[in-house]
């Protein structure tokens, strides 16, 4: 499996706190079946700045450490970028990493309780620059939960979305799990990722998530999700699904 979102680089954000922890996380990733992982530290989220060049250097160093520890995990530099008013300028200054060498896809994070009013305008401008936004874990955003039509609007205007495997497996509670399922059922998610931070807090559940997806949504869906993870890393076109709105009524009755 390919993991397109993780915080394994030590000591640069709220993820791994030491190289030893990073190596343990990498072992857990391999154990779960992951062969390739994007290193996606937070960037411009108000708390952490991780410049593109630094992430590239640290990822190369981590790859050496993995090889020395005989852990068969290939790692690639990227970032989890908080949506912010300076994003376009940061792209122009080459300080934003994509998920792929073509510079096509960018992982975009929203504040956990907000979808800023300038979102649609910014995502449109990104696409005008040839950058395709991939919204990370929308299922954990309370605003999307309250107004799921916002996510529909974002995805149907050309963005993609990544659901976190642990959310889908219930680690963050029933409401987040149900919303993850609703997002996937509505064709508004395209890929799973671990978003791994700490070995103790969140176990790798990528394999379990793929298994659940197959049972709930049919054998073809895990194949397409995996294909999309590969496409994100290679800069190829992702598979889209038939998108529908998540109805609030359905949501409220579920929570």
CB of 86 to Fe ion, least distance (A): 20
Residues 192-221 that bind Fe ion (CB under 5 A): 195
100 binds Fe ion (CB under 5 A): no
The residue (of 36 and 185) whose beta carbon lies closer to Fe ion is 36
Closest CA to 119 of 89, 168, 159, 91: 159
Please list, residue by residue across 53-73, b when 16 or more beta carbons sit within 10 angstroms of its beta carbon and e when fewer do: ebbeebbeebbeebeeeebeb
Instruction: Characterise 162 by phi-psi region: left (phi > 0), alpha (psi -120 to 50), beta (else).
Output: beta
CB of 5 to Fe ion, least distance (A): 6
CB of 195 to Fe ion, least distance (A): 4
* Options 74-82, 164-172, 175-183, 203-211: segment touching Fe ion (CB under 5 A): 74-82
- Give bridge partners of residue 161 from the DSSP assignment: 135
The residue (of 196 and 231) whose beta carbon lies closer to Fe ion is 196
139 binds Fe ion (CB under 5 A): no
80 binds Fe ion (CB under 5 A): yes
The residue (of 117 and 200) whose beta carbon lies closer to Fe ion is 200
CB 85 within 8 A of CB 242: no
Pairing of strands 42-43, 2-3: unpaired
The residue (of 3 and 80) whose beta carbon lies closer to Fe ion is 80
The residue (of 100 and 195) whose beta carbon lies closer to Fe ion is 195
Strands (E), the chain: 2-3, 36-39, 42-43, 74-77, 80-82, 105-109, 132-136, 160-164, 191-193
Residues forming contacts to Fe ion in the complex (CB under 5 A) are: 80, 195
């Amino acid at each position: 499996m390919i993991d397109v979102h993780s915080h394994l680089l030590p000591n640069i954000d709220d993820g791994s706190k030491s190289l030893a922890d990073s190596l343990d996380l990498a072992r857990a990733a391999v154990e779960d079946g992951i062969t390739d992982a994007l290193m996606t530290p937070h960037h411009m989220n108000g708390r952490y700045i991780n410049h593109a060049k630094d992430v590239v250097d640290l990822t190369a160093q981590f790859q050496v450490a993995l090889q020395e520890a005989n852990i068969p995990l290939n790692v690639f530099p990227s970032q989890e970028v908080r949506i912010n008013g300076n994003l376009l300028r940061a792209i122009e200054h080459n300080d934003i990493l994509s998920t792929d060498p073509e510079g096509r896809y960018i992982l975009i994070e929203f504040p956990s309780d907000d979808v800023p009013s300038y979102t649609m305008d910014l995502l449109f401008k990104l696409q005008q620059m040839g950058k395709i936004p991939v919204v990370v874990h929308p299922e954990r955003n309370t605003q999307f939960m309250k107004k799921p039509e916002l996510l529909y609007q974002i995805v149907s205007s050309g963005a993609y979305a990544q659901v976190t495997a642990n959310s889908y497996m219930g680690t963050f509670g029933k409401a987040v799990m149900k919303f993850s399922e609703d997002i996937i059922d509505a064709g508004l998610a395209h890929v799973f990722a671990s978003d791994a931070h700490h070995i103790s807090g969140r176990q790798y559940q990528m394999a379990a998530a793929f298994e659940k997806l197959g049972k709930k949504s049919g054998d073809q869906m895990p194949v397409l999700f995996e294909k999309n993870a590969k496409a994100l890393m290679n800069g190829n076109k992702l598979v889209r699904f038939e998108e529908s709105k998540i109805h609030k009524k359905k949501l409220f009755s579920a929570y």
